[in-house]
Amino acid sequence: AQKITQTQPGMFVQEKEAVTLDCTYDTSDQSYGLFWYKQPSSGEMIFLIYQGSYDEQNATEGRYSLNFQKARKSANLVISASQLGDSAMYFCAERHSGAGSYQLTFGKGTKLSVIP
């Protein structure tokens, strides 16, 4: 079974600083995808960034970038220039195939708090 590990239950970062949220995954699939979602206190999950297992370059979306190290099976999220609105839960998820479809397995999340 797929397993996603987020080892940091909580993180603090100073406003305007960069922060890295860790994610490791355990899969034997050759083709897979990695997603990061943000969940504010309102509860809705917001898609941030995606990395495919065959993508040679790290994905970037605005202030978000994904540090993809395939051999180490890690897909860390880097948020640059943190803002107060970045305070939220962050979830890493892996897309894997099974029974003719694709599914996501989520980690337990990291709670990020941005300090003014």
Partner 1 sequence: DGGITQSPKYLFRKEGQNVTLSCEQNLNHDAMYWYRQDPGQGLRLIYYSQIVNDFQKGDIAEGYSVSREKKESFPLTVTSAQKNPTAFYLCASSIVSGAEQFFGPGTRLTVL
Residues at the contact surface with partner 1, assessed by CB under 8 A: 4, 33, 35, 37, 42-47, 50, 91, 93, 95, 97, 99, 101-104, 106-109
**For partner 1, the closer CB: 16 or 98:** 98
- Give Cα 46 to chain centroid, integer Å: 11
In degrees, to the nearest 5, what angle opens at C-alpha 114 toward C-alphas 110 and 116?
A: 170
**For partner 1, the closer CB: 82 or 96:** 96
**For partner 1, the closer CB: 85 or 116:** 85
Tell me the β-bridge partners of 46: 38
**For partner 1, the closer CB: 4 or 114:** 4
How far apart (Å, rounded) are the C-alpha atoms in residues 25 and 23?
A: 7
Smallest distance from partner 1 to CB 73, Å: 18
List % helix, strand, coil for the chain (3-state, nearest 5): 5, 55, 40
How far apart (Å, rounded) are the C-alpha atoms in residues 30 and 51?
A: 14
Smallest distance from partner 1 to CB 14, Å: 25
Smallest distance from partner 1 to CB 42, Å: 7
Smallest distance from partner 1 to CB 106, Å: 4
